[in-house]
Chains A and B, each alone.
Chain A
Amino acid sequence: MSAAEIDLRKKLERMSLKSPRPRLIDVIAADRRDGTYDLIYVFHHEGAIVDHRYVVNEDDDITSIADLYAGALCMEREIIDMYGLKFNGVTGGFLLDPSSPKNPLRQPRKEVAKDV
C-alpha cells in the first residue's frame, strides 16, 4: 500500500468519525503528460464535494478502495482501460475488449527542451 493510499484511508476514517460516512461520487484519473497521473477521489460530504488528490506513477501499484465502496470497482476498472494504471486485485476490460486500442486517454508527453 502506497503512502497516498494510507493517507486516503486515514482521511476517510477521520471524515466518517465527524459525521455520516462520505459518499463516493467518482474516482477520476487525468494524464499530467510527464509519466505521472492525477488520481482524484471525489466524495459528497456534509452537502458539498470534497476531493482528495494524489499523483501516481504509471508503474505504481495502487490499492483498490473497492473493499470500502463496492461501487468503486467499475471506476477503477475504467481507469485501467483508459490509462493502463494498476489497481491491486482489479482487472480492466470494463469498457474495452482485448482488441481495442490500449490506454486511449493517455496524452503525448510534454516536449522537453533539447540541447541545440
Chain B
Amino acid sequence: MSRTSVIPFGPQHAAFLEPFHLKLQVEEEVVVGAEMSFGYNHRGMEYAMAQDFKRTQFLCERVCGICSFHHSSAYVQTMERLFGIEAPERAKLVRMIMMEAQRLTSHLLALGHIAETVGYENMFMQFFREREEVMTLVNRISGGRVHYSMNAIGGIRKDVTYEGLKDIGETMDRLEPRLLDLRSIVRKDRTLRKRLIGVGVLSKEAAFDWCTVGPTSRGSGLPHDIRLTGFDGYGVNGVKFRPIYYDEGDCYARTMVRMDEVIQSVDLIRQGINLMRDGPFLNAVKGNPPAADAYGRVEAPRGELMYWVRGKNEVQLDRIKLRTPALVNVPAVSAMIKGARVADVGPITVSVDPCICCTDR
C-alpha cells in the first residue's frame, strides 16, 4: 500500500501567472486529492466599485487586465438596463469588435501559456508574436494596450474612425493566414497531442455540476455561449455566430476550442466592420441609478461574465456583484486533477486559463 504525501503547488510557481495555492495529496506520482486556497489577489473590488457609479466604469476595467473591456462592457450593459436606455447600434458594434479583439489577445496568451507549460517554447513565442500584432492594433484604436476606457453608460466614449476600421480590417487580413498556420500546427503536433490528449478530463456532467463556463465547459461538450443569448451586439444585428465545442473534455479539447475561437473572432470582427453604419454612438444618461436592480452578461474570453447591480437613487450603489468565469472554472480544476500525474498538474491548471485577479477580485 502506497503512502499519501502532500505536495504544495504554488502560490508562486513557474506554471502560474498569478498566485494561488494547491495542496496536492499524492500517492507515488498520482494525485488523489487536492485542496485549493485563494485570496492572494483579493482587493475588495466589489466594495470599491459600489462607491461611485460613474467612476466604476473605469475601475471595473482594473478587475482584470486580460478581459478589461469585457468587464466594462458587462458593467455598462447592466447600468443601461438599470437606467432603461439602450446603446446606439454603432456603439454595440464597436463594443463587439473590441471585445473580439480582446478575446484574440486573451486566447493567444492562453495558448502561448499552455505551450510554454508543456515545454514548447518556440510555439509560445509564435503565439505571442501574433498577440503583439493585436495588442498594437488595440493601442492604435483606443490609446491603451490593456485598458481601452472606450465604454460609457449609454454607448461608447470615443468612436472608431473610418481609418481605424480600415486598420482593423487590414490587421485581420494579415493575421488570419498566420493563425490558420498555427492551428494546423496545434492540430498535428506530436508534443502537444501527447501532453494534452486524455489529460485532465472533465466529463460533460461534471462540467455542468461545477457550473463551468466558456472554453472550459465548451471543451466538455456543453455548447453554452452567452454570445447567443446575452449581449445585444450579437445575433440581433445579423451577426452569424455558432458556438464552438468539443466533446472530449481533456486539455487538448479546451486548447482546440480556444484555437478555433481565435479564427472565429477574426470572422466576427470582419462581420462587425461590414455591418457598421454612420450614426450616433452615445445616448447620455442623467441622474443617479434608480433603486432597482439589473443583470448584465457578456461572453468574456474565459466564459460568461455576469454583473448584478442594485442602485439606491444615489451616486453610491447599494450593491454590485461580479460573477467572473474564473470563479467557477478554477475550482473545477480539483475535479480534473484527480488521478492525474503530478507532472500534468501544471498543464491541467493552465488549460482552464486561470485568472486569479478575476477569482479574487
Q: Residues of A with Cβ closer than 8 Å to B?
A: 21, 23-26, 28, 30-31, 40, 42, 44, 47-49, 69-75, 82, 93-97, 104-105
Contact check, B319 vs A21: say whether CB atoms are below 8 A apart.
Answer: no
| Bound form: Cα–Cα A85–B87 in Å | 38
List residues of chain B with CB within 8 A of the CB of A93.
37
Interface size of B by Cβ–Cβ distance < 8 Å?
32
Contact check, A95 vs B39: say whether CB atoms are below 8 A apart.
Answer: yes
Closest CB-CB distance, A41 to chain B, in whole Å? 12
Q: Mark B192-232, 1 if CB is under 8 A from A, else 0.
A: 00000000000000101111100000000000100001000
| Bound form: Cα–Cα A30–B321 in Å | 9
The 13 listed contacts between A and B (C-beta, < 8 Å) are A26-B323, A30-B310, A30-B318, A31-B319, A42-B323, A69-B210, A70-B210, A70-B335, A71-B209, A71-B331, A73-B331, A74-B328, A105-B46
Closest CB-CB distance, B349 to chain A, in whole Å? 16
Whether A25 contacts B211 in the complex (CB less than 8 A), given A30-B318, A31-B319, A96-B39, comes out as: yes
* Interface positions of B from 304 to 318, Cβ below 8 Å from A: 304, 306, 308, 310, 318
List residues of chain A with CB within 8 A of the CB of B37.
93
Main secondary structure of the interface of A (DSSP, over half): mixed
Tell me whether B120 is interfacial, beta carbon within 8 Å. Answer: no
Tell me whether B241 is interfacial, beta carbon within 8 Å. Answer: no
Contact check, B224 vs A23: say whether CB atoms are below 8 A apart.
Answer: yes
Tell me whether B332 is interfacial, beta carbon within 8 Å. Answer: yes
Most chain B beta-carbon contacts within 10 A, residue among A31, A47, A48, A94: A94
Tell me whether B287 is interfacial, beta carbon within 8 Å. Answer: no
Tell me whether B238 is interfacial, beta carbon within 8 Å. Answer: no
Tell me whether B327 is interfacial, beta carbon within 8 Å. Answer: yes
Tell me whether B242 is interfacial, beta carbon within 8 Å. Answer: no
| Bound form: Cα–Cα A82–B42 in Å | 12
Closest CB-CB distance, A92 to chain B, in whole Å? 11
Output the nearest chain A residue to B308 by Cβ-Cβ distance: A28
Contact check, B304 vs A104: say whether CB atoms are below 8 A apart.
Answer: no
List residues of chain A with CB within 8 A of the CB of B212.
71
| Bound form: Cα–Cα A95–B360 in Å | 6
Whether A71 contacts B211 in the complex (CB less than 8 A), given A28-B321, A105-B47, comes out as: yes
List residues of chain A with CB within 8 A of the CB of B304.
25, 44
